[in-house]
């Protein structure tokens, strides 16, 4: 949520890593898309660095996230759904509503799954 709030009207993105579907670490990834106010594309070098750190820490990616800073509905956009891969979880931090939505993508469609946001200890 903090990362999305710091985005100042731009889509932010990143990865959550942990164990047993519980996120322990946040990896902020630069948005490399030429139109970051409307779209996101994870910077490949940042993503590679994150994957290495996750592996070294003996963790797993539990979610990918990005924000929709001015999108009022808690649902995947057509672009999000087209780019999602099977089984991935996409977390959406909708900044103006301070709400997080999580989705599982299966067979080309998304279903919302429960998510609990807690402050780090």
pLDDT digits (tens, 9 = 90+) for 64-92: 888 877 765 677 778 877 777 666 555 55
Residue partners of 27: CB distance under 8 A and separation at least 6: 14, 15, 16, 17, 46, 50, 53, 54
At 119, which helix (H) or strand (E)? none
103 touches 83 (CB < 8 A): no
What the block records as the tokens of 27 is: 């990896």
Q: Where are the domains of the chain?
A: 2-113
pLDDT confidence band for 109 (50 / 70 / 90): confident
Q: What is the pLDDT of residue 47?
A: 96
DSSP calls for 44-57: HHHHHHHHHHHHHT
User: Which comes out higher in pLDDT, residue 37 or 90?
Assistant: 37
- Is 2-113 a CATH 3.40.140.10 domain? yes
Rounded CA separation 61/80 (Å):
18
107 touches 8 (CB < 8 A): no
Backbone angles phi, psi at 108, to 5 degrees: 80, 5
3 touches 93 (CB < 8 A): yes
């Amino acid at each position: 949520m903090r990362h999305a709030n710091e985005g100042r009207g731009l889509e932010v993105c990143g990865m959550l890593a942990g164990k047993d579907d519980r996120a322990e670490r946040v990896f902020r990834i630069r948005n490399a898309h030429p139109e970051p106010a409307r779209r996101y594309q994870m910077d490949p070098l940042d993503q590679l660095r994150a994957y290495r750190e996750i592996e070294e820490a003996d963790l797993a990616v539990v979610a990918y996230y990005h924000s929709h800073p001015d999108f009022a509905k808690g649902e995947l956009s057509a672009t999000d759904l087209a780019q999602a891969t099977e089984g991935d979880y996409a977390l959406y931090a909708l900044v103006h509503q301070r709400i997080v939505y999580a989705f599982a993508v299966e067979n080309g469609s998304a279903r919302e799954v429960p998510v609990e946001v807690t402050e780090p200890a």
